[in-house]
Amino acid sequence: MKDGKVVKVEGDPDHPLNKGKLCPKGEASVEVLYHPDRLTSPLRRRGERGEGKWEEISWDDALDLLADRLVKVKEAFGAPSVAFIHGAAKGLQESYLARFANHFGSPNVAWQGHVCFVPRVVASRLTYGFYAIPDYDFPPKCVVVWGKNLPETLHHAYERLSKALKRGTRLVVIDSRRTELAEKADIWLQPRPGSDLLLALGMIHYLITEGLYDREFVEKWTLGFDQLKDHVAAYPLEKVAELTWVPAEKIREAATLYAHSKPAALQWGNLIDHGLNSFSLARGLCILRALTGNIGVPGGEAQPERPPLHGRRSPELEAWDKMPRDVFEKRLGGGYRPLPMIRYLQPQDITEGIMNGTIRAIYNQGGNPLINYSNARRVFHALKKVEFLAVADVFMTPTAAVADLVLPAATFLEFPSIVTPPYSYPVMSVQQHCARIADSRSDYEIMKDTAVRLGFGDVFWETEEACLDFVLEPAGLTFEELKQIGVIRGSLKYRGYQAGGFGTPSKKIEFVSPQLEAWGFDSLPEYREPPETPYSSPDLAEKYPLIFTTWKTEPFRHSSGRQVSSLRRRHPRPLVLIHPDTARGLGIEEGDTVFIETPRGRIRQTAHLTDRFHPRVVGVDYAWWFPEKGPESLFEWDAANVNVLTSDKPPFNPEMGSTNLRGGLCRLTKT
C-alpha cells in the first residue's frame, strides 16, 4: 500500500499453498482493481434491453428498485417465481446469496457446482466418506493425472508434483489433449472426449482379472467386490480400446504401473465433471484408488483435516432450516431430480423456467449465463423475456448488458473474508479489506441492505466482520484474531479408518453403494454413451464428422479477465485447435478464420494447427466474448462462444442433472 492505494500484489512465501508464487490472475489483481472499465455506480436501464443505454442512480434508489420488484413478483406469483444465480466465486459470497434466498422463500437458486468439483466431492463421500487429496510431499512412487493440466489451473499442486518427479516419481497423464504435463509423462493416454468412464472401467476390469489389486485391503475394508467384478466384466480391454481410441496395450501399461507403484496418487481435474457420466466417472476413479490400497496412506490419497467453520455451503450459514420442506420440494427440476444433497438448480432449469413463465425475476450475483450456460442462444431469448433481471458484477458483461439493473460489486481486495480452498491442502487464510473503488459494494453488503428493505435484515449481521465471527465460532476464533494470525494450517490424516472404519453406513469403502440404490440411482458406475457421438448418433456423424472438446486456459477464470490487458496479451483471440492432417483436408491453414458448427448453431474462431489432438478431435476455446466491442453489440457474445454449440436438452447426468459439455459432434468450414 502507498498513500491508501494498492500498488503491488505479491505471493506470500510463507503461505503453505502457493509458497510465494502467483498465477497470472493473481499478478493482475491491481490491474483489475483500478481498471478503467470497472462498474463504479449502480445503473438503471433506459430504452430496450441490450441497447446499451443506462443512467446512473444512487445505491438507495437501486436497492429500493431491487426490493420493490422482488416484492411485487413475490406477491403476484409467489416467492419461487424469483430465481437467484451465482457465478464461480468459490467463496462465502455464494452462501450469503443462499441465505438471502432461503429467508426470501425461494428454493430456486442456481449454481455451477454441478460441472465444477461437486461430482467428485459427492462421489468421494459416498464411496469412502471423505474427499481425498494426493499427498505429493511424501512423495508417491507414481502419480496419475486425469483430466487436469496442473501448470495452467492448479499451479501450487504442480510445484509439488514437479518436486516429486525430481525425486523419481513416475507420471501417467490421461487427457484427450497432449498438454504440457503430458509431454513430461512416462505414459500418456489419449481417450476420445467423453469416453473416460469406459477407460476407468476397463482399467478396473484389468486390475481385477490380472490380480493386480491389493487383496488384503480389499477383503478387509471394502464392500461389494464380487458385484464389482461381475459388473466390469462387460468392459474387456479390447472393447474399451475400440470405443476410447486408446490402444489396449497402453491401457495395460498404465494400469500396471499404477498398481505396482506403492504408494500411488491420482490427481483428477475439471474434465471429470463435464459430461453425462461425471458422477459415475468420479466413482470409478474412487474405486481405482481403493482397489490399489492407496486410500489414507502417505504418498497416496490423504484425508484433509480442515479447521471447523460455519462456512461455505454449511446449513448454519445458508439457513437451510428457513426453507419449508414442502416449498423446497417444489423447486424447478425439469422432470428429474438429482441426488438428495444437491440443493441447487442447473442452468437448463433457469432457462426453461423463464420460457414457460415459472420464473419472472432473477437476481444474478457474479454469473454470466449468456456465456457459461448451455445452448446460449436459448439463454439469450430467456434473458430477454424475463420480467426483471438484476446483475451484480465487477464489470459490464454480456449478461449484465441485457439487465434492468446493474450493481457494481467489489473485488476481493475490497472486502474482508475467509478463504478455504475446497479442493487442495487444508488451509484457512484471511482476506483483508485494503481498498474500495468508487461506489462498489461487497456482495454481503448488497444482500444485507436489500434484506433490510424486505423486512428480514435482522437475519444478517450488522457488519461483514461480525458475520465472519459467526463463521469462525467452531474454530474458537474471532475475525480480528484471524487477521493477526493470517493463515491456519489444517493437517493430513493417514489411515484414519483404522480407528473406526470409513465414514459410510457400512464403515467400509462401498464399491456397491446401498445408499445410491435406495435413492434410485446406479449402485455401481454405469457407462452411458453421451448424445451426439459417432456411436450414439452415427447418422448425425456423417454430417458432423468431428468431435469437439474444450478446457480452461491459464490467463482467464471462466468468462472473466478478457478486458485485462496483461491477461489478454497472453491469449489475445479465441483459437480452435485442429490437427494438421484434418486442416489440410478441409483447406484450412494456420490463422484462418473457421466456422465451428453443431445442430444448435455456429461460431467462428481462429485456426491453430497442432498435433496435440487426435485428427478427429478439435479443441474449441471456452467462454469467449469481446469487451472491446461494447455493450451496444452485447460484446459480440455469440461470435465465438462455445456454448452456442452445446445442448441443454436431455439426457442429463442422472445424479447431478448436468448437460454434456465435451465429446459432441461438430464440423468445420473455412469462412
Does some domain include residue 632? yes
Total structural domains within the chain: 4
pLDDT at position 330, please?
A: 86
Q: Note if the bond before 538 is cis, omega within 30 degrees.
A: no
In this predicted structure, the answer to whether residue 334 has a pLDDT above a threshold of 80 is no
- The string of pLDDT tens digits covering residues 484-526 is 999 999 999 999 999 999 999 999 999 999 999 999 999 999 9
Q: Are strands 43-45 and 405-408 parallel, antiparallel or unpaired?
A: antiparallel
CATH assignment of the domain containing 380: 3.40.50.740
Does some domain include residue 209? yes
Tell me the pLDDT of the chain averaged across its residues.
Answer: 96
The predicted model gives 30-55 an average pLDDT of: 95
- The string of pLDDT tens digits covering residues 56-78 is 999 999 999 999 999 999 999 99
- What stretches of 415-472 adopt beta strand conformation (E)? 417-419, 427-431
SS3 44: strand
Statement to judge: residues 242 and 214 lie in one domain: yes
Res. 377 pLDDT band, cuts 50 70 90:
very high
- State the amino acid at position 210 in one-letter form: E
Does some domain include residue 383? yes
Res. 599 pLDDT band, cuts 50 70 90:
very high
Does some domain include residue 527? no
Statement to judge: residues 512 and 586 lie in one domain: no
Statement to judge: residues 147 and 294 lie in one domain: yes
Statement to judge: residues 190 and 288 lie in one domain: yes
Report d(CA 521, CA 508) in Å as an integer. Answer: 20
Does some domain include residue 174? yes
Statement to judge: residues 260 and 325 lie in one domain: no
Does some domain include residue 124? no
Nearest to 91 by CA among 351, 328, 365, 275: 365
| Sequence-separated (6 or more) residues with CB below 8 Å from residue 334 | 346, 348, 349, 352, 652, 657
How crowded is the C-beta side of 349, counted as CA atoms within 13 Å?
30
pLDDT at position 199, please?
A: 98
Dihedral sign (CA 395, 399, 401, 406): negative
CATH assignment of the domain containing 264: 3.40.228.10
Statement to judge: residues 554 and 589 lie in one domain: yes
Cell of 145: 493425472
Statement to judge: residues 396 and 508 lie in one domain: no
Does some domain include residue 126? no
Q: What are phi and psi of 667, to 5 degrees?
A: -140, 155
Q: Which residues of 409-433 are buried (b: 16+ CB within 10 A; e: fewer)?
A: bbbbbbbbbbbbeebbbbbbbbbeb
Statement to judge: residues 275 and 419 lie in one domain: no
pLDDT at position 424, please?
A: 82
The predicted model gives 174-198 an average pLDDT of: 97
Longest dimension (CA), the chain: 71
C-beta of residue 70 within 8 angstroms of C-beta of residue 289:
no
SS3 474: helix
**Dihedral in degrees, nearest 10, Cα atoms 442, 447, 450, 455:** -140
Report d(CA 441, CA 450) in Å as an integer. Answer: 12
Statement to judge: residues 78 and 212 lie in one domain: no
C-beta of residue 264 within 8 angstroms of C-beta of residue 294:
yes
pLDDT at position 422, please?
A: 81
CATH assignment of the domain containing 639: 2.40.40.20
The predicted model gives 611-634 an average pLDDT of: 96
Statement to judge: residues 353 and 254 lie in one domain: no
In this predicted structure, the answer to whether residue 235 has a pLDDT above a threshold of 80 is yes
Statement to judge: residues 291 and 437 lie in one domain: no
**Dihedral in degrees, nearest 10, Cα atoms 143, 279, 521, 648:** -160
pLDDT at position 345, please?
A: 94
Does some domain include residue 105? yes
Q: Which residue has the higher pLDDT, 642 or 437?
A: 642
Statement to judge: residues 163 and 294 lie in one domain: yes
In this predicted structure, the answer to whether residue 166 has a pLDDT above a threshold of 80 is yes
The predicted model gives 114-128 an average pLDDT of: 95
- The string of pLDDT tens digits covering residues 285-329 is 999 999 999 999 999 999 999 999 999 889 999 999 999 999 998
Report d(CA 353, CA 361) in Å as an integer. Answer: 10
SS3 578: strand
In this predicted structure, the answer to whether residue 90 has a pLDDT above a threshold of 80 is no
For residue 350, the enclosing domain spans 40-115+309-489
pLDDT at position 356, please?
A: 96
Res. 578 pLDDT band, cuts 50 70 90:
very high
The predicted model gives 27-38 an average pLDDT of: 97
Report d(CA 144, CA 186) in Å as an integer. Answer: 10
Cell of 483: 487477521
The predicted model gives 381-403 an average pLDDT of: 97
| Sequence-separated (6 or more) residues with CB below 8 Å from residue 298 | 135, 138, 263, 494
Report d(CA 346, CA 375) in Å as an integer. Answer: 13
